[in-house]
Amino acid sequence: MNKWWKSAIVYQIYPFSFKDSNGDGKGDLKGIIQKLPYLSKLGINVIWLNPIFESPFIDNGYDISDYYKINPILGTMNDFTMLLNKAHSLGIKIILDLVVNHTSNEHKWFKESCKKEKNKYTNFYIWKKGKSDGSPPNNWGSTFGGSAWEYVPSRDMYYLHLFAKEQPDLNWENPVLRNSIYSMMKYWLDIGIDGFRMDVISLISKKQDFPDAPVDYPYNRSYYFGSSNGPRVHEFIREMNEKVLSKYNIMTVGETPNTTSEQALLYVGENRKELNMVFQFDHMHLDYGINGKYSTTHYKLNELKQVFTEWEECMNKDGWNSLYWSNHDQPRAVTRFGNDSTYRFESAKMLGTLLHMMKGTPFIYQGEEIGMKNPDYKSIKEYKDVEAISSYKSLKLSGMKETKALNILHLKARDNARSPMQWDKSINSGFSTSKPWLKLCDDYKDVNVKNEFNEEKSVLNHYIKLIKLRKKYPVVVFGDYEIINKDDSSVYAYIRKYKNEELIVICSLVSNNVLFRPDVGKLSTKPKLLLSNYSDSEKFLSSKVELKPYEAMIYYINN
């Protein structure tokens, strides 16, 4: 089958925060339809929608109560098919979020499963007896706090939930459950969607003896010990591929927490018959501290280079890479990896350049293309996310001062990515006519899509150019990647080579001027500048370049 996803540029939409068409303060599908011409001008050709299904919204839609129904806040099935058709007519494909490690506790499967009387759904979830003293079956903690087990009196048993207690884990050992999932996937594919992003797919197979995790595992991730890359995960995905995925020309990307690059090859290898690519987490962990994610630690450039290079090289052996700086779970890229004050626009464009010239399928998270930064929420009341709230509580319980805890949330909370999209300087940034469900970032009067379209040197216009390069030069899609000046602690530089084309990408990640001597051996021709983020960048690459703060250049040779 034609591997169209190799040259795709994906745009991730968080539907509740993208565009509100009916004035209820929450984004919706009709809002997305209104903005399709914008996405078409940006040049992307795939949209990934975060979950759009019926949900009590404990984890913002990742707790699904009916896989076949559109969340009424977002619209109707008609709205969805209209969105799909309009997107297709503009040459844009749509992939949906497949959340099948767990459902909502309000799903009818779970309600039935809780019943004392045996029925079809009794074994749809993971039920275990407590220990003889009545405590939970093992020591696993859950992502959002507390034990990963919840007791249900009607069955006198505990059920497993790796995330919130309202998100019970499905029992993939049960073939009837697996077939129900496959039927649901076929239902959406037959409607015409173009693929899936698979939520925590590396966690679906649990070690069946449910062993206690060693004490050195962080409590809220201790379940990894018995559930990440579990014993039957590849068998299950192969079965899914054989019964469903292989029948359609679609794109699949698995979200795979706690997975090394070598383990990832088992999901994406060309002959494995599993998935097209996975989302790795290694670069997301470079700024973890002793308390894990919720810390003020800053990443180190040499570690970033090492992680990206390892994934480029490993995926190049036998598979395909995915490229991302941020998503709905991560803080804004410009705040985290760039400089969101003095060099906001330079660094946002530099980050775009660094990522989009690599080998793999790039994912742009809504707002990244205009350089949106983390909003400056002043109180815990402004945060809405279950993880932010539970982490705040545990930081406070550990004795941390309020200001420090809030500073950590400002740097790391998931709400940072979820503040509404900034369209223009009108009330509520043109996102909604009424108060948005989550507070806007207060810089929207300056930083918004409308302003950036009109400003030739904007981040947005830079992203448009990066996307055009990917479409024009095969080397951007297919070229081999090789890092140069590996030990430079201020500059990230690499070359790409494909047939007679060569790219040299040079990006400064520091806020001072630096001297750079590219280690590119003997070049037969002088590389010519294709794109940069300063108007006076050197037109031809020479043996010595003085880089300005966050300067990023792409040079090209056609031998």
Q: Is 293 in the site for ligand TEU (CB under 6 A)?
A: yes
- Residue 527 CA, chain-centre distance (Å), reads 34
Residue among 166, 199, 538, 551 flagged as catalytic: 199
Contact 118, 139 (CB under 8 A): no
Instruction: Quote the tokens at residue 420.
Output: 């509404």
Three-state secondary structure call for residue 408: helix
- C-beta closer to ligand TEU: residue 170 or 505: 170
Return the axis-axis angle of helices 459-472 and 344-356, rounded to nearest 10°. 10
Name which position in 59, 274, 369, 551 contacts ligand TEU (CB under 6 A): 59
* Binding status of residue 141 toward ligand TEU by CB under 6 A: no
Specify the residue, 351 or 409, whose C-beta has the smaller distance to ligand TEU. 409
CB 307 within 8 A of CB 352: no
Smallest gap, in angstroms, from Cβ of residue 380 to ligand TEU? 17
- According to CB under 6 A, which one of 28, 194, 329, 415 is a site residue for ligand TEU? 329
- Asked if 199 interacts with ligand TEU (CB under 6 A), we say yes
Which residues does residue 514 pair with via DSSP β-bridges, in sequence order? 547
| Contact flag: residue 331 with ligand TEU (CB under 6 A) | no
The only residue of 200, 201, 233, 438 in contact with ligand TEU, by rule CB under 6 A:
200
Task: Give the ranges where 431-531 is alpha helix by DSSP (H).
Answer: 449-454, 459-472, 474-478
Q: Judged by CB, which is closer to ligand TEU: 143, or 180?
A: 143
Catalytic residue check, 199: yes
Residue 340 binding ligand TEU, by CB under 6 A = no
29 sits in which H/E element:
helix 29-34
CB of 433 vs ligand TEU, minimal distance in Å: 28
Q: Is 257 in the site for ligand TEU (CB under 6 A)?
A: yes
| Residue listed under structure tokens 């795939």 | 46
Q: Collapsing DSSP states into helix, strand and coil, what is residue 187?
A: helix
b/e for 418-451, b at 16 or more Cβ within 10 A? bbbbbbbeeebbbbbeeebbbbbbebbeebbbbb
233 binds ligand TEU per the rule CB under 6 A: no
**Closer CB to ligand TEU, residue 143 or residue 205?**
143
Residue 514, SS3 per DSSP? strand
Q: Select 194 or 329, whichever has its Cβ closest to ligand TEU.
A: 329
Choosing from 28, 150, 255, 385, which is the catalytic residue?
255
Q: Name which position in 18, 124, 163, 219 contacts ligand TEU (CB under 6 A).
A: 163
Residues between 8 and 47 with contacts to ligand TEU, criterion CB under 6 A: none
**Residues 389 to 448 in contact with ligand TEU, rule: CB under 6 A:** 414
Q: How far is the CB of 163 from ligand TEU (least distance, A)?
A: 4
- The distance of closest approach from Cβ of residue 87 to ligand TEU in the complex, given in angstroms and rounded to an integer, is 22
Q: Residue 402's CB: how many other CB atoms inside 10 A?
A: 12
Give me the least distance between CB of 414 and ligand TEU, in Å please: 6
> By C-beta, is 51 or 527 nearer to ligand TEU?
51
SS3 assignment, position 552:
strand
Position among 12, 138, 143, 422 found at the interface with ligand TEU (CB under 6 A): 143
Among the listed residues 84, 99, 348, 503, the single contact to ligand TEU using CB under 6 A: 99
277-294: b or e for each residue (b if 16 or more CB lie within 10 Å)? bbbbbbbbebbeeebebb
Give the C-alpha separation, 326 to 332, whole Å.
6
Please give the backbone phi and psi of residue 550, each rounded to the nearest 5 degrees, phi first: 55, 25
Taking the alpha carbons at both ends of the chain, their separation in whole angstroms is: 32
Match 């490690």 to its residue by tokens. 101
Distance CA 239, CA 492 (A): 41
- State yes or no: residue 169 binds ligand TEU (CB under 6 A): no
Cβ of residue 59: shortest distance to ligand TEU, in angstroms? Answer: 5
**Binding of ligand TEU by 95 (CB under 6 A):** no
Q: Does 62 bind ligand TEU (CB under 6 A)?
A: yes
- Please count the residues of this chain forming the interface with ligand TEU, following the rule CB under 6 A: 14
Are the beta carbons of 509 and 348 closer than 8 angstroms? no
Which residue is closest to ligand TEU by CB? 62
| Under 8 Å between Cβ of 307 and 355 | no
Q: How is residue 459 written in tokens?
A: 């981040």
Q: Tell me which residues touch ligand TEU (CB under 6 A).
A: 59, 62, 99, 143, 163, 199-200, 255, 257, 293, 328-329, 387, 414
Catalytic residues: 199, 255
